[in-house]
């Protein structure tokens, strides 16, 4: 472009380093910024023009003429491969418009026709299309069945493009089921196939894989790594779907920075997505751009602009006529209407979300809509309905959480089945090799016996050696099978342990949130009512019963806040392990029964979140044991980190105990400590002497955040 010559090279580098946008994209954005602004002022009119272009892109004339021409090919008296191609084009036509019911209809017709024609390659492609369609319809079991079947076609069709696409689709499916670990594994399988291929068609799929890995890392809150993969994808140029994926990648980076509350770095990526979207003419992606634009304005608390963007996204969803998308857009629009004081409209959109979201099991959207209705009712003074909507919000919020948990469990089950199939395949290959070896050796024995009787002694010697070798192989095989069984048992124990601990932490977090947001909110409301009575009826100030009731409510509110804080301390999540331990020690020492001292060395950097939570729980349980059993007056906690090694020591001057008897009669507290140490792959040792005290020592190999 003409403007690039006026920008020095060092500015090129600095621009890309600060914003994370490749230089070419940033220059295009800078040069055409005024054009983008003009397009945004046109709003929905531009989106409608894009829809018209998208429809006519499949053929000359109107969309109806195009689909009718394809249906004529499908319905001819003697269907053949061209009929299959026409069905798949119809499926793609409706898929890209979000009309998944029509997509499923033509995908099923294509499946039946490919089976009738016995076209293996077309059948594999039809299975892939069915899997993608069921994924978008949230029918995940059916989706996985068809996508797994695609991989089974590989020995027959040898289609690397289809195999990579299948792994990518399985990654998308796992992402939808919140199984981000499996999603990344599938995408890395696809990446490995691309690296081994010299085909341009295969390598053109690489940006999709990078984008998928980025999206899953961001979903797992690994924002830095996720943004790195997204930037790799942005550096790849000149592939057929570049425009569409460039918009999606910019939106992923924007979402990551917005989650990190860095609106300054998020904004350039939103503007880039808006710019590159102008040439796509894709209603689904355009609606996503408007949704993200609304999220940006909402983050800046510019509720009027957020409402405008959400209104445009909602209008596009109505054109697409996809209830999944309509429910999501209407939920955001309801919130924006409430924030700008348009309560009637907020109520209308919230009820629309509830009507659409319940049959589709979009519990998160339904919960958000009930929250908007609760707020509107509260503003209007309709407290009866406000309480009802609050109850419904909690009900569907819990349903959303349970659905997400179920998806994670299904994802873990699918990973287990995947590993199990791989192990069974390896076992079958091993058994087949042994059978072939046995056949070869037996034939050799027969050949030698037929040549000469003189060779009988040699044959007997060979056979004797063979028998010994066979026994040795059998013994090795037996030991190998035993090792496999032990390995699987250890793996199952680790999985069970991880599931138990993760479940405990999830339940603690949920209970703490329920106490704080639910019961804590109720007590806050009661206190508000007491204050109102206090002001409206001054005579109550002198009544002892009123004063005692107010004091009890206030004490109960503080106790709820303290319990919620102990179950999931806010300082642990925000400030890290060291500050949380300081807070814990200070609270215990304030009771004057036990003085706890904390010594920390080399803990300048935070650990990852899971490790910090586990260590904090261990410290809580150890201090509880000291308070309940040790009769100690002093305790010292030491954290010493040297590189990747972390040593933790807890000492007290209590009465001590017999460690041998304690091992035989384990209590729940010590079992909890040992299980959490095992979860972190650490080592635990306890030294205790009567009337001297107890020392608990732990060693861990840890990783940074």
Lowest mean pLDDT among 50-59, 131-140, 191-200, 366-375: 50-59
Element (H, E) at 460: helix 456-513
| pLDDT > 50? residue 43 | no
Residue 301 included in any domain: no
Residue 524 vs residue 73, higher pLDDT: 73
154 pLDDT tier (thresholds 50, 70, 90): confident
Same-domain pairing of 627 and 661 = yes
Strand pairing of 595-601 and 634-642? parallel
Look at residue 521 and tell me whether its pLDDT is greater than 70.
Answer: no
Name, in order, each residue with C-beta under 8 angstroms of 301's C-beta and a sequence gap of 6 or more. none
Domain contains 239: no
Mean predicted confidence (pLDDT) in 315-329: 86
Among 5-9, 26-30, 321-325, 381-385, top mean pLDDT goes to 381-385
In this structure, is residue 21 part of a structural domain? Answer: yes
Q: Does residue 296 or residue 202 have the better pLDDT?
A: 296
Q: What is the pLDDT of residue 299?
A: 92
* 469 part of a folded domain: yes
pLDDT at 94: 82
CATH number of the domain that residue 102 is part of? 1.25.40.10
With cut-offs at 50, 70 and 90, classify the pLDDT of residue 502: low
The answer to the question of residue 636 being in a domain is: yes
520 with 504, same domain: the answer is yes
Q: Are residues 557 and 604 in the same domain?
A: no
581 and 485 within one domain: no
Confidence band (pLDDT; 50, 70, 90) for 58?
A: very low
Mean pLDDT of the 347-351 span: 93
Greatest mean pLDDT range, 11-20, 88-97, 123-132, 290-299: 290-299
Place of tokens 């499946």: 111
Out of 535, 563, 591, pick the residue that ends a domain: 563
633 shares a domain with 516: no
| Residue 22 lies in domain | 1-27
Domain boundary among 156, 182, 213: 156
What SS3 state is found at 20? coil
Q: Is 581 found in the same domain as 501?
A: no
pLDDT digits (tens, 9 = 90+) for 234-274: 888 888 888 888 898 999 999 999 999 999 999 999 999 99
pLDDT tens digits, one per residue of 401-429: 655 544 444 444 444 444 555 555 455 54
- The answer to whether residue 245 is domain-embedded is no
Instruction: Work out how many domains the chain is built from and give that number.
Output: 4
675 & 620 share domain: yes
CATH number at residue 645: 3.30.565.10
| Cα dihedral 551→557→559→563 (10° resolution) | 180
Q: Is residue 307 part of a domain?
A: no
Instruction: Identify the residue with better confidence: 39 or 308.
Output: 308
Classify residue 487 by burial, with Cβ atoms within 10 Å: 0-12, 13-18, 19+. Answer: exposed
DSSP string, 605-624: SPBPHHHHHHHHHHHHHHHH
What are the structure tokens assigned to 37, written together? 């602004």
pTM of the predicted model as reported, rounded to 2 decimal places: 0.49
Residue 538 shares a structural domain with residue 580 = no
Domain boundary among the residues 126, 156, 186 is at: 156
With tokens 């996985």, the residue in question is 144
Q: Are residues 13 and 100 in the same domain?
A: no
Q: What is the DSSP letter of 704?
A: B
Q: Are residues 647 and 697 in the same domain?
A: yes
pLDDT, average across residues 330-358: 92
Q: Is residue 296 part of a domain?
A: no
Q: Which two tokens stand for residue 111?
A: 């499946």
For 275-288, write each residue's pLDDT tens digit.
999 888 788 889 89
HEC letters along 72-139: HHHCCCCCCHHHHHHHHHHHHHHHCCCCHHHHHHHHHHHHHHHHHHCCHHHHHHHHHHHHHHHHHCCC
pLDDT, position 409: 43
What does the alpha-carbon distance between residue 62 and residue 631 come to, in Å, rounded to a whole number? 86
Q: What pLDDT sits at residue 500?
A: 63
pLDDT the model gives residue 53: 36
Q: Is the pLDDT of residue 324 over 70?
A: yes
Task: Kindly state whether residues 546 and 597 are assigned to the same domain.
Answer: no
Instruction: Tell me the C-alpha distance between 360 and 444, whole Å.
Output: 67
Are residues 456 and 515 both part of a single domain?
yes
């Amino acid at each position: 472009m003409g403007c690039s010559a006026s920008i020095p090279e060092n500015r090129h580098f600095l621009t890309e380093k600060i914003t994370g946008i490749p230089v070419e994209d940033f220059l295009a954005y800078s040069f055409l910024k005024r054009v983008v602004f003009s397009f945004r002022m046109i709003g929905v009119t531009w989106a409608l023009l894009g829809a018209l272009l998208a429809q006519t892109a499949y053929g000359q004339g109107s969309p109806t003429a195009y689909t009718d021409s394809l249906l004529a090919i499908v319905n001819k008296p003697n269907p053949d491969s061209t009929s299959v191609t026409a069905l798949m084009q119809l499926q793609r036509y409706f898929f890209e418009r979000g009309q998944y019911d029509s997509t499923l209809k033509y995908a099923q017709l294509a499946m039946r026709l490919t089976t009738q024609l016995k076209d293996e390659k077309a059948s594999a492609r039809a299975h892939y299309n069915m899997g993608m369609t069921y994924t978008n319809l949230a029918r995940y079991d059916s989706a996985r069945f068809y996508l797994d079947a695609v991989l089974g076609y590989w020995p027959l069709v040898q289609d690397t493009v289809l195999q990579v696409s299948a792994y990518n689709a399985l990654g998308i499916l796992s992402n939808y089921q919140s199984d981000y670990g499996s999603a990344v594994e599938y995408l890395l399988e696809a990446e490995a196939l691309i690296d081994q291929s010299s085909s341009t068609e295969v390598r053109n799929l690489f940006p999709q894989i990078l984008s998928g890995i980025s999206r899953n890392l961001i979903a797992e809150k690994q924002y830095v790594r996720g943004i790195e993969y997204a930037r790799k994808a942005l550096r790849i140029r000149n592939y057929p779907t570049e425009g569409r994926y460039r918009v999606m990648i910019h939106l992923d980076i924007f979402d990551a920075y917005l989650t990190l509350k860095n609106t300054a770095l998020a904004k350039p990526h939103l503007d880039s997505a808006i710019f590159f979207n102008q040439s796509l003419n894709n209603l689904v992606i355009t609606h996503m751009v408007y949704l993200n634009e609304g999220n940006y304005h909402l983050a800046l608390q510019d509720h009027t602009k957020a409402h405008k963007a959400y209104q445009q996204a909602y209008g596009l969803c109505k054109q697409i006529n996809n209830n999944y998308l309509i429910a999501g857009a209407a939920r955001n629009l309801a919130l924006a209407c409430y924030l700008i004081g348009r309560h009637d409209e907020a109520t209308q959109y919230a009820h629309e979300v509830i009507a659409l979201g319940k049959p589709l099991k979009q519990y998160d959207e339904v919960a958000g809509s009930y929250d908007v209705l609760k707020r509107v009712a509260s503003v209007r003074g309709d407290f009866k309905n406000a309480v009802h909507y609050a109850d419904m919000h909690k009900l569907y919020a819990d349903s959303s959480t349970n659905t997400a948990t179920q998806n994670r469990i299904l994802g873990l089950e699918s990973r287990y089945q995947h590993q199990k199939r791989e192990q069974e395949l390896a076992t079958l290959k091993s058994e087949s090799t042994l059978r072939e070896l046995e056949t070869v050796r037996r034939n050799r024995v027969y050949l030698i016996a037929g040549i000469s009787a003189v060779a009988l002694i040699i044959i007997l010697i060979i056979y004797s050696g063979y028998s010994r070798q066979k026994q040795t192989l059998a013994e090795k095989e037996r030991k190998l099978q035993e090792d496999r069984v032990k390995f699987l048992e250890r793996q199952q124990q680790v999985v069970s342990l991880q599931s138990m601990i993760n479940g405990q932490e999830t339940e603690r977090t949920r209970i703490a949130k329920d106490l704080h947001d639910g019961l804590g909110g109720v007590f806050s409301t009661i206190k508000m009512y007491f204050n109102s009575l206090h002001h409206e009826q001054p005579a109550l100030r002198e009544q002892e019963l009123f004063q005692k009731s107010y004091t009890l409510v206030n004490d109960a509110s503080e106790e709820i806040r303290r319990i919620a804080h102990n179950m999931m301390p806010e300082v642990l999540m925000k400030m890290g392990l060291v500050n949380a331990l300081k807070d814990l020690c200070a609270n215990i020492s304030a009771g004057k029964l036990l003085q706890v001292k904390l010594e920390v060395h080399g803990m300048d950097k935070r650990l990852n979140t899971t490790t910090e939570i586990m260590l904090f729980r261990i410290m809580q349980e150890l201090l509880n044991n000291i308070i309940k059993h040790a009769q100690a007056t002093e305790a010292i906690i030491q954290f010493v980190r040297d590189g990747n090694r972390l040593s933790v020591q807890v000492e007290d001057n209590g009465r001590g105990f017999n460690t041998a008897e304690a091992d035989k009669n384990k209590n729940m507290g010590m079992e909890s400590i040992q299980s959490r140490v095992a979860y972190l792959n650490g080592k635990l040792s306890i030294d205790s002497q009567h009337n001297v005290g107890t020392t608990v020592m732990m060693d861990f190999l840890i990783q940074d955040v």
